Amino acid sequence: MIEQLISFLQEFSKEERREQLWQVANDRTRYVTVVLEDIYQTQNASAVLRSCDCFGIQDVHIIENENTFNINPQVVIGATKWLHLHQYNEEANNTRACLRKLKNDGYRIVATTPHRNDVNLNDFDLSRGKTAVVFGNEREGISDIVMEEADEFMKIPMYGFSESLNISVSAAITLQHFSNQLRTSELNTKLSVDELNALYLEWLKKSIKKSELLIEEFNKRNNTSF
């Protein structure tokens, strides 16, 4: 029935807009996801979300322990409209709750920090499985809990006097590199057919004025409930 609803709503959307939504949805992936732990600067938080959208990452997991995650509309420029944000702020230990959920969902936890067993970004092997990349906050970086729970450690190679990069820059470099790898590999990293249709429908509804009224009409005609 979801296909019928999509077909119905498409009648109220311009062809070029439908094509854009479908193409971007086709380029989305959940093979790589991003985890942000206790980010407190709104500009950094927003810039990372914008990079996720630009490079096709659909899900972002936001851990709020000491700091509330806030978004700067002038930086994010609407990117959150197209992303799924999963916030963890109700547990005594939100970091562990988030990482263990991701592990249960089949992700390996990759901490972005120098470590004795780390690997350079250029040498990181995405083919080993779904990857959740954890970026820590601007002051302390990742927490001790991330260090404990991490399956692997990764760093961006640098050749100057500075020892670290701004989190938003680190995320952009990492995601651009991963995006290129995924699109040139033979890995099956795209959304499933059901996920793709659900995402396209979600975006289609957001792109059509008064779509909720149209869906009500569709439900009446077909005796359904969406």
- Render pLDDT for 170-185 as a digit per residue (tens, 0 to 9): 999 999 999 999 999 9
Residue 219 has pLDDT above 80, yes or no: yes
On whether both 91 and 160 belong to a single domain, the answer is: yes
Boundaries of domain holding 224: 192-226
On whether both 48 and 101 belong to a single domain, the answer is: yes
Residue type (1 letter), 173: I
Q: pLDDT band at residue 91, thresholds of 50, 70 and 90?
A: confident
Q: pLDDT band at residue 19, thresholds of 50, 70 and 90?
A: very high
Let me know if residue 7 belongs to a domain.
Answer: no
Q: pLDDT band at residue 74, thresholds of 50, 70 and 90?
A: confident
Beta carbons of 190 and 155 less than 8 angstroms apart: no
Cα(99)–Cα(95) distance, rounded to whole angstroms? Answer: 6
Q: φ and ψ at 66, to 5 degrees?
A: -95, -25
Let me know if residue 17 belongs to a domain.
Answer: no
Cα(100)–Cα(91) distance, rounded to whole angstroms? Answer: 13
Cα(176)–Cα(180) distance, rounded to whole angstroms? Answer: 6
Q: pTM (2 decimals)?
A: 0.93
pLDDT for 68 equals 86
pLDDT for 150 equals 95
Q: pLDDT band at residue 70, thresholds of 50, 70 and 90?
A: confident
Residue 143 has pLDDT above 80, yes or no: yes
On whether both 220 and 119 belong to a single domain, the answer is: no
Let me know if residue 198 belongs to a domain.
Answer: yes
Residue 116 has pLDDT above 80, yes or no: no
pLDDT for 13 equals 94
Q: Of the candidates 90, 72, 67, 76, which has an alpha carbon nearest to the alpha carbon of residue 138?
A: 67
Let me know if residue 104 belongs to a domain.
Answer: yes
The rounded Cα 218 to chain-centroid distance in angstroms is 31
pLDDT for 22 equals 97
Question: How many residues are listed for the chain in this entry?
Answer: 226
On whether both 145 and 209 belong to a single domain, the answer is: no
Total structural domains in the chain? 2
Mean pLDDT of 50-58: 97
Residue 115 has pLDDT above 80, yes or no: no
Q: pLDDT band at residue 41, thresholds of 50, 70 and 90?
A: confident
